[in-house]
Structure 1
Amino acid sequence: MVSSSKRHNKPARISRIEKLSVLPVFFNLQGKQVLIIGGSNGAYWKSELLAAAGANLQVIAPADHIAEDFRQYLEVADKNHVMWEDRNWESEDLKGKSLAVADLEELQEIERFKQAAKQHACPSNLIDKPEYCDFQFGSIVSRGPCVVGISTSGVAPVLGQSIRLRIQALLPQWLEQWGELAQRIRPQVMRRFVSGVDRRRFWQKFSEKAWDSAPSQSTIHGIYGQLKEEGQGEQENQNNLLYFRKKTRSEVSEGASVVEVSQLGADYLTLRDLRLLQSASRIVSAPDVPEAVLRLARREALHQTLENDQRVKAGDEKGCVLVRMKSDSLQQNSVG
């Protein structure tokens, strides 16, 4: 017979994770209805972010409350999956929405918004008011299907941006190609390797290659050869190989208020380059600057593309950064 003292003297279970201040989750917003209330630049940035995640946006704000840059964005509503309504919001606007984001100042209106969100079981966010938020937007590092979210629980957003800056410098741009490749071959991996142990071994080797370089044609060919099943035709493999032909990429090197884009690639960016891009309030870029470079800038920065014969004029606001190709003829008189 086992004594009661022995039964209760089990070793304490070690927790597998320490206490979290927030739970990091990732919403799938493809095709979902999301509400934006307000026309500020903050609401503009949240609209861009949510549209990039595939959401269908309903923006509600009176015309005289819309920031100029936001207005220009709303003019291409069909392209951005955005519908703008020139009016004040109502409680029923939150009905059926997956998320709601508002930029409100008056306490009474904030409380009315929160009550409506609760009534319609809609997770809500008040811009720059973390104490009223069901969820918050963190800093983001994106490499295709690989997305890193960083939160400081609303306490220190600038610290979150600083962390993002360092992660951005560590993660090579080519991870996006490996992420796309993983997404494309996943069904074949599931069919080819029945055992979970075998699948894990395959993905471990796959992930090790991802840190060396962009996936070459020979590497991709070898991966598809490994996944080829008995009786499988060559057409599927050939289609996948064609899909992953190398893409030409151009990226950057730096200056004081100028980022000059070389042909070496974004993976050769210095931390100083990234700090310059991350601290910008406005990015002015030459038309031939690759989009991959501009994505490294501060997320909230406003973007302007110069025409070939345009120049950045003296007296432009502080925080403006010119991004151009090294061979570009654009001259900077004074930026910021």
Structure 2
Amino acid sequence: MDYFPIFTKIKDRHCLVVGGGDIAVRKVHLLLKAGAAITVCAPEVCESLQQKADNNQLTIIHDVFKDEFIEDKWLVIAATNQREINEHIAKLAEQKQLLVNVVDEPSLCTFIMPSIVDRSPIVVAISSGGKAPVLARLIRERLETLLPMHIARLAKISGEFRHRVKQVITKESLRRRYWEKLFGNGTLASLLQKGQMQKAQDFMEANLTEEIAQGEVALIGAGPGDPSLLTLRALQLMQQADIVLYDRLVSKEILDLVRRDADLMSVGKAAGNHEVEQSRTNQMLVEFAQQGKKVVRLKGGDSFIFGRGGEELEELVEAGVAFQVVPGITAASGCSAYAGIPLTHRDYAQSVTFVTGHRKADGQPLNWKALAIPNQTLVVYMGLLRATDIQSNLLINGRDANTPVALINKGTRHDQQVITGCLSELSQLGGGLEGATLIIVGEVVELASKLAWFEPDNNPKPSRDPFLVNLS
């Protein structure tokens, strides 16, 4: 973030606005709404500012800016049309460690005036850090249509009722559950919209005596990496969570969407490195839910496709813990789509098979003969370390050595890499890759160069490994 978002109290604090035109009027209007004590400095001021002065809403100094005007001020806004004066004010305010905003000059500002949606006491501020003010304004206009006016009454009555809720519900997590249930119920909003304040208060009181739901686990598939591929339901539950247990494949951008005060706990696993043993993860899900917490178990891709989600839910069932499942876009679907590779195509593949490169030591061996059948697509999850075995087993069982293959590393993310080649090269293709990599084997890979649409800067088009190209 270029600017730290903060709401600051300026009621009765002395603020200086330098400038007397229309821009100064807009800044003064916002400062007055926040209760600031305003002084305007300008040789001449517009009629609107003069009227506010006549009504004792602000003080006007009919003069050019002088350094002493800044003394004893808490905040300064430079709104003149003279860059030299604006720069001087900014430098002076910086020396005196005062907050300063210079209109249309973000580089001179120590704070930015955001676009505001005002449903006081609910206030939403949108800022682009001065880079795209028109875009910020358009976002504000969109939010204006989404936030009903009665949300102000909802916030006000909730503030008045907070002390009562604290008296009755002493546990913080259960208080949060009470408010979430209350705000999620359309009855309260409907009563406030109709102005029935007493009935609204009675409704809130009645809900205090109802039993608060116990803890629950939400098993959520976070998708392959791009946060925009999260489902709406996943995002809603992530915003309600008390604690989130996440795997290493869940991207930072997705974790940033979790509610700010939720506890984040990594239980990730990599090949040969289990940060937290699966049995302990299962136990923690049960323990946190039994403490009354809303628990989110966040997994990359889809939890039911090589995500061990079924194993975790079995533990919850045995412990009598309530749960729900939110599917995610599995890596095979997401990564192939972002690489321009359709998993099935009438001219290339009539079926697709998903297998994992990691299996239990005593697990059943793969049916390589069935996997080597032509005109089908084979997708191997977590297969990078076993690329040599995959190549040799497919060739031994009859798959053509020239069968197209693709390695998709960090699929759907902006550092995605797609390397294509043929089956006889598979063991060498991924030599420089690290991290989550998906292997696709099949004739559909031929379409990658034609259908690729996602073109991050580091890898504009699917291509063969440079090392192999130089050798050919």
Q: TM-score, normalised by structure 1?
A: 0.56
Contact 1:58/1:85, CA 8 A, preserved across alignment = yes
Q: Which residue of 2 aligns with 1:143?
A: 119
Q: Which of 166, 171, 177 is equivalent to 1:195?
A: 171
Contact 2:120/2:152, CA 8 A, preserved across alignment = yes
Q: Note the C-alpha offset of 1:104.
A: 2.6
Gaps of 5+ in 2: 210-472
Distance across 2 between alignment mates of 1:36 and 1:176? 30
Matched, 1:213 2:190: yes
Q: Which of 70, 74, 80 is equivalent to 2:49?
A: 70
Matched, 1:158 2:134: yes
The one-letter code of the counterpart of 2:152 is E
Q: How does 1:208-287 map to 2 (within 5 A)?
A: 208-209=184-185, 212-215=189-192, 216=196, 217-225=198-206
Bigger shift: residues 119-128 or 201-210: 201-210
Q: Which residue of 2 aligns with 1:96?
A: 72
Q: Note the C-alpha offset of 1:213.
A: 2.4
Question: What whole-Å deviation, never above 9, does each CA across 1:156-204 have from its counterpart, x for those lacking one?
Answer: 2121111111111011111011011112122222333221112111211
The one-letter code of the counterpart of 2:101 is N
Give 3-state SS (helix, strand or coil) of 1:184's partner. Answer: helix
* Sequence identity (%): 29
Q: How does 1:28-39 map to 2 (within 5 A)?
A: 28-39=9-20
Distance across 1 between alignment mates of 2:112 and 2:135? 15
Give 3-state SS (helix, strand or coil) of 2:65's partner. Answer: coil
RMSD of aligned alpha carbons: 2.1
Contact 1:39/1:66, CA 8 A, preserved across alignment = yes
Matched, 1:128 2:107: no
Contact 1:103/1:127, CA 8 A, preserved across alignment = yes
Contact 1:94/1:120, CA 8 A, preserved across alignment = no
Distance across 2 between alignment mates of 1:153 and 1:192? 43
Q: Which residue of 1 aligns with 2:24?
A: 43
Distance across 1 between alignment mates of 2:80 and 2:164? 49
Distance across 2 between alignment mates of 1:199 and 1:109? 53
Give the structure with higher Rg (CA): 2
Distance across 2 between alignment mates of 1:214 and 1:151? 33
Q: Which residue of 2 aligns with 1:185?
A: 161
Give 3-state SS (helix, strand or coil) of 1:39's partner. Answer: coil
Matched, 1:114 2:90: yes
Distance of aligned partners of 1:195 and 1:67 in 2 relative to their CA distance in 1, 3 Å threshold:
same
Q: Which of 96, 101, 105 is equivalent to 2:81?
A: 105
Contact 2:11/2:35, CA 8 A, preserved across alignment = yes
Matched, 1:172 2:148: yes
Matched, 1:61 2:42: yes
Question: What whole-Å deviation, never above 9, does each CA across 1:257-279 have from its counterpart, x for those lacking one?
Answer: xxxxxxxxxxxxxxxxxxxxxxx
The one-letter code of the counterpart of 1:209 is N
Q: Note the C-alpha offset of 1:221.
A: 1.1
Contact 1:130/1:154, CA 8 A, preserved across alignment = yes
Q: How does 1:270-309 map to 2 (within 5 A)?
A: none
Question: What whole-Å deviation, never above 9, does each CA across 1:213-245 have from its counterpart, x for those lacking one?
Answer: 2424323212135569xxxxxxxxxxxxxxxxx
